[in-house]
Amino acid sequence: MKFYRDEGMVLGGHKLGEADRIITVLTRSHGVIRAVAKGIRRTKSRFGSRLEPFMLVDIQCHVGRSLDIVTQVELLEPFGRGLVGDYDAYTAATVMTETALRVSEAEPDTRGQYLLLVSAIRSLCKGEHPPRLSLDAYLLRAMSSAGWAPSLIDCAQCGAPGPHRAFSSPLGGALCPACRPNGAFLPGEEALLHMAALLAGDWPTAEASPEHAKAQSARLTSSYVQWHLERKVKSLAVLERA
């Protein structure tokens, strides 16, 4: 019998049969795994609430034919308990976990994405920054870690020194007047400088940005993420409608 053990963040799951559940976990060393937690929906389940979303766990699985089987779980940090009482933090965390899944599900090496997600969720739980700023910072860094870093100061096409006013997701970010195509967004320099501060972790600058710049950068970040993932992030659409 072959087993493996790893540290991971529970991203979600869905029901299987009458009492089981298939859980999805982003792990440090084994990528995204999907495994069956047998009997988890029973009142006396030995796993309890340790496999709920946003829980950081030490998990052991048995390798199965089609799906692995969870055999042991140790709770490391109960992030879910710190998020359920704050709607804004909870919805931001939901977007983070869905994005982490989309970015990581086809990648063999997910260590960087895993560490980034854990750090972002931990920051949300501690309330270190406003939830939407934490979310946008995470999204920009997740894209950068996946190889889709946006150019936010210099022109993404010709490299002309910035800052610039225009932004295009398909073309990689900020654009100078000579490279700007028809239909490019024109959010203004403040929004792009705000995004650059979030990406760099310059929180004093990011938190001091004007509210209109924060709102514009949030829209640009959402557009950029969904363009490069080539699919909608469902939880992000819910967050923006709210």
Residues 95 and 11 in one domain: no
List the beta bridge partners of residue 15.
Answer: 21
Which of 78, 106, 129 delimits the end of a domain?
78
Residue 242, pLDDT score: 63
| pTM of the predicted structure, to 2 decimals | 0.92
**Whole-number CA gyration radius for the chain:** 20
Residues 119 and 234 in one domain: yes
- Domain that includes residue 111, residue range: 85-241
List the beta bridge partners of residue 3.
Answer: 62
Residue 108, pLDDT score: 79
**Token representation of residue 110:** 């997910």
The candidate with the shortest Cα–Cα distance to 72, out of 59, 63, 62, is: 59
Residues 120 and 178 in one domain: yes
Q: How many domains does the chain have?
A: 2
Residues 44 and 120 in one domain: no
Cis-peptide into 150, omega within 30 deg: no
Residues 9 and 39 in one domain: yes
The 10s digit of each residue's pLDDT in 7-61 is: 999 999 888 888 888 999 999 999 999 999 988 888 677 777 888 899 999 999 9
Residues 38 and 107 in one domain: no
List the beta bridge partners of residue 151.
Answer: 173
Find the CATH number of the domain harbouring 31.
Answer: 2.40.50.140
**What is the distance between the alpha carbons of residues 215 and 195, in angstroms, rounded to a whole number?**
11
**What is the distance between the alpha carbons of residues 88 and 163, in angstroms, rounded to a whole number?**
31
Residue 44, pLDDT score: 73
Which of 56, 78, 100 delimits the end of a domain?
78
Which of 78, 106, 140 delimits the end of a domain?
78
Residue 234, pLDDT score: 85
**Token representation of residue 58:** 């030490």
Residues 147 and 40 in one domain: no
Residues 93 and 130 in one domain: yes
pLDDT by 10s per residue, the chain, length 242: 598 999 999 999 888 888 888 999 999 999 999 999 988 888 677 777 888 899 999 999 999 888 899 999 999 999 988 888 889 999 999 999 999 999 998 787 889 999 999 999 999 999 999 999 999 999 999 999 999 999 999 999 999 998 998 999 999 999 999 999 988 889 888 999 999 999 999 999 999 999 999 999 999 999 999 999 988 888 887 777 76
Residues 73 and 140 in one domain: no
